[in-house]
A = this chain, B = another copy of it.
Amino acid sequence: MINGEKVLDHPIRWAMVGGGRGSQIGYIHRSAALRDRSFELVAGAFDINPERGKDFGIQLGVAPERCYPDYKTMLMEEAKRSPEDRIEAVTIAVPNGLHYAVCKAVLEAGFHAVCEKPLCFTTEQAEELVHLADSKGLVVGVTYGYSGHQLIEQARQMVLHGDLGEIRLIKMQFPFGAYNTAVEETNAAARWRMDPAKAGPSFVLGDVGTHPLFLAETMVPDFEIESLMCTTKSFIPTRKLEDNAFVIMNLKGGAQATCWASAINCGALHGQKVRIVGSKASVEWYDERPNQLTYEIEGEPVRILERGGAYLYPSARAEDRISGGHTEGLFDAWSNLYRRFAIAMEKANKGEKADFWYPDVHAGAEGVKWVEKCVESAKKGAVWVKY
């Protein structure tokens, strides 16, 4: 159980690129990183407007001279500081189209990175980042935030322990409803998501579909796609990117998987669910009730597993912050991930590898490839493509 005990030698010295005043995503990154003193915010290039960024950084307690006008300056200046003083890690909370460039620069400067998904836009870029991180022994954490919920780990352990038997089906969905009309015409925050230049080659596949994909990869460690087909559609005709997608995947070993990603599923807030069907039992997780995991052994009553339950696998209880019954939410899940990032970074600093999973550069690359393959299939007329 996490209760503020010292885990790290020291909080990781940390900077942000983007995530300035008024940014929702910046807020959740800071909430998670600063929780439990996993990280200490010591520098930043928070805003494209340097003055506003500096003002905001100072409010956050950053020294004025370490509030930089842009990430390039920051990386250059921080590199000049003594090793004991300079930043160790950088969170990248800039528009999607800049993820690749900033992440590459951070890694080249020798710092660990935490990057919003998507990691980048093409497999070629992703492979470059994977190579950079691996060859330099640097950590790249990708914020697939839902995966920090403890019951995701429980599902993984159940699969690994054979509680479900042989895995046969994986059903994923993240079909929300809020973009059922052309909200982007009046809402600037929505507009960039429909712009290929800023959002990449896809809207819903990349924006929401990769979330349950990573959950499934986590729950089913040998998840490996052999081929897939994807049909996409823009129900709002002015959209250049799809607002609904269905994907069917054949997995190595014979299992099948499906994914439904949507922005036009009226009435659903998230609707993100992952169901794993095995030969003996199924589990199902729903992100709007993240403290519960449904466990259905064929022929027995459905069981509702609860976060914090004494019957869970130990690793699914290790990150509890409060006993079961009390709710933990998305901020707690993110805090779990940032905590793992910090531990992994400290280990990496010592030349060691993490002995636990977290959404890393490979997971980020996998998401990029999946979107790419889905788009390829859809463009060819929703045909099967090799993966």
- B-side contacts of A326, CB under 8 Å: 270, 287, 329-330
In the complex, which range does the number of interface residues on chain A fall in?
Answer: 35 or more
| CB-based contact A301/B291 at 8 Å | no
Q: Do A299 and B324 have beta carbons less than 8 Å apart?
A: no
Judge whether A327 and B290 touch: CB under 8 Å.
Answer: yes
- Mark the stretch among A17-25, A95-103, A123-131 that contacts chain B: A17-25
A198 within 8 A of B: no
A72 at the interface (CB under 8 A from B): no
Question: Which B residues lie within 8 Å of A31 (CB)?
Answer: 4, 35, 321
User: Taking the complex as formed, is A311 at the interface, i.e. its CB lies under 8 A from any CB of chain B?
Assistant: yes
- Compute how far the CA of A254 lies from the CA of B233 in the bound complex, rounded to whole angstroms: 9
Determine which of B60, B233, B288, B295 lies in contact with A301 in the assembled complex, contact meaning CB atoms within 8 Å.
Answer: B295
Determine if A107 is an interface residue (Cβ-Cβ < 8 Å). no
Q: Which of B5, B229, B267, B331 contacts A296 (CB 8 A)?
A: B267
> Which residues of B lie under 8 Å from residue A27 when comparing CB positions?
2-4, 321
Q: Please judge, given known A-B contacts A168-B264, A235-B279, A279-B235, whether A22 and B6 are in contact too, CB under 8 Å.
A: no
Q: A297 in the interface, Cβ–Cβ < 8 Å?
A: yes
**B327 touching A287, Cβ below 8 Å:** yes
Q: Is A120 an interface residue (CB 8 A)?
A: no
Enumerate chain B residues within 8 angstroms of A250, measured Cβ to Cβ. 231
A318 at the interface (CB under 8 A from B): no
A323: interface (CB < 8 Å): yes
A26–B244 CA distance with the chains assembled, in angstroms: 44
Tell me, in angstroms, the Cα distance from A60 to B4 when the chains sit together.
8
Whether A323 contacts B282 by the Cβ 8 Å rule is no
Is A50 close to B, CB under 8 A? no
Q: Within 8 Å CB of A244, what residues of B?
A: 168-169, 256
- Chain B residue numbers with a CB within 8 Å of A332 are 329, 331
**In the assembly, what is the distance between CA of A299 and CA of B178, in Å?**
7
What is the predominant secondary structure among interface residues of chain A facing chain B? Answer: loop
Q: A229-B229, A325-B288, A327-B327 are in contact. Are A306 and B4 (CB under 8 A)?
A: no
B24 close to A37 (CB less than 8 A): no
Could you tell me the distance between the alpha carbons of A383 and B384 in the complex, rounded to whole angstroms?
8
Cα distance, A277 to B265, chains bound together (Å): 6
Residue of A24, A177, A327 ringed by the most chain B CB atoms within 10 A: A327
> With A3-B24, A24-B3, A303-B303 known to touch, is A281 a contact of B266 (CB < 8 Å)?
yes
In the assembled complex, A122 has its CB within 8 A of some CB on chain B:
no
Contact of A322 among B21, B28, B171 (CB under 8 A): B28
Residue A298 CB within 8 A of the other chain: yes
Q: When the two chains form their complex, are residues B330 and A330 in contact, meaning their CB atoms are under 8 A apart?
A: no
- Asked if A246 is an interface residue, CB under 8 A from chain B, the answer is yes
B-side contacts of A246, CB under 8 Å: 248, 256, 258
Contact present for B266 and A296 (CB under 8 Å):
yes
B327 touches A288 (CB 8 A): yes
A112 CA / B6 CA spacing, docked (Å): 29
With A and B bound together, what is the CA distance between A265 and B275 in angstroms? 10
Q: Give 12 CB contacts A-B under 8 Å.
A: A168-B244, A169-B262, A176-B325, A178-B299, A233-B254, A248-B382, A265-B277, A266-B296, A266-B297, A291-B329, A295-B301, A382-B384
